Each structure stands twice: as structure tokens, then as C-alpha cells.
Amino acid sequence: MQMQKNVHLTGRDLTEMVQLRPQDVGKYAIVPGPRDRLDVLMKKIENPVRNFSFMEYTMYTGTYEGIKVTGINGGRFSTDTSITTEVMCNAGIQNIIRVGTCGSLDENIKVGDLFVVDEVIRGDGVTPYYVDKDFKTESDKKLSDLLFSIAKDMGLSVHRGKAWTTDALLRETREIVEAKRKEGARAT
């Protein structure tokens, strides 16, 4: 069936709706999932200014060690993240650092360890609307190397590699998980 109308709301429309402009945001955005994690993050930011609060998303911009940074809660699943990513990209944010929790598919990664994602095996339902199935989803190497190096220098237990995304948390079977491990996923 063909769509009867054009897309009714775009990322640009949403960005304009919340009156967000490129000069209002930093070059870097740090994106935790739930709002309570954003509140903790904002305690580390100097002079945070609320850019907007719309639906369940809230965005602040301030500085960290003299660098203008933006923080926004990105939700827990890919549909939430796609909304906030559209807003960030349309506002001109150049580097998005997603922080949150994940599960380990590698017995060497322990609870409390950090994991820097270099590449993604996409298993969510949103990315097919953005990229072709053959598109290779990779992190910015320079930024990932920097994050990994900082964590190591701080004495933290940090790992890196390929992660598998999924929206069907309650449908992960041993067979599916093992197949993703064989594809190289170390975290999900």
C-alpha cells in the first residue's frame, strides 16, 4: 500500500517546534537513556541551561572543562533514541555519545565494566528506516579511541568491540544470542 500523504512530522519539524538552534547546543552531546541519569550527568556540567522539555525528553547545554556540551535523555529503546537523534542532528550536534547499560556476551566482561562500541550488529526495528541493510554501523574511531584511553587512564575496567542492538529484550533465546556471539558481538 502506498502512503497517501507525505511524512507528517520530520526531525526538522520537531527541532523547530522546540525552538532549538545550532548556537544553542554543543559540538558534543552525551545521551543517557532515562531522565534520572540525565539529572546525575547535569550535576557535572557547569551552568546548565535547559534547552527544552518536550514529551518525556529534556535537553540541557552547559560546559565541561571549558567545552560546550549538550545532554539529553534518549529513552531506553531505539524508537526513543531515533527521536532524540533526529533533534540533535537537525540542531547541528556533530558528536553523539550514547551512555547506558548493556548486557555482556563475553565472560571476560564483568558487571560494572565499561564497554566502548566500535561496531554494531543491528537487531532493532528502527534503523532499516534510516540505512540500507548492507550499511556498516561503526563508531567514530578517533572518538572511541579517546573514550577508551580516558577510561583506561582512570584505571577503569574497559572493553571494546562489537555490540548487538535489539528491541525484543524478552524474546532473546539462547540460539539467537549464540548466533550474535558467533558474529562477534561482545555486548548487547
- pLDDT, tens digit, 9 for 90 and up, residues 133-179: 899 999 999 999 999 999 999 999 999 999 999 988 888 899 999 99
Structure confidence at residue 5 as a pLDDT band (50, 70, 90) = low
CA angle (36, 107, 80) in 5-degree steps: 30
Predicted local distance difference test score (pLDDT) of residue 76: 82
* Polymer length in residues for the chain: 188
What confidence tier does 79 reach under pLDDT thresholds 50, 70, 90?
Answer: confident
How far is C-alpha 184 from the chain's CA centre? 20
Is 70 exceeded by the pLDDT of residue 1? Answer: no
Give the Cβ contact number of residue 187 at 10 Å. Answer: 22
The backbone torsions φ and ψ at residue 78, rounded to the nearest 5 degrees and listed phi first, read -60, -30
Which residues make up the CATH 3.40.50.1580 domain(s) of the chain?
1-100, 101-188
Q: How far apart are CA 151 and CA 134, in angstroms?
A: 32
Tell me the mean pLDDT in the region 65-73. 97
* C-alpha dist (Å) from residue 83 to 31, 33, 73: 12, 12, 11
Q: If we measure between CA atoms, which residue out of 122, 116, 101, 117 comes closest to residue 156?
A: 116
Q: Is the pLDDT of residue 109 over 70?
A: yes
Across the chain, mean pLDDT equals 93
Q: What's the angle, vertex CA 49, arms to CA 47 and CA 50, rounded to 5? A: 150
**Quick one: fold of 1-100?**
Rossmann fold (3.40.50)
Residues facing residue 161 across a β-bridge:
117
Tell the CATH topology of 101-188.
Rossmann fold (3.40.50)
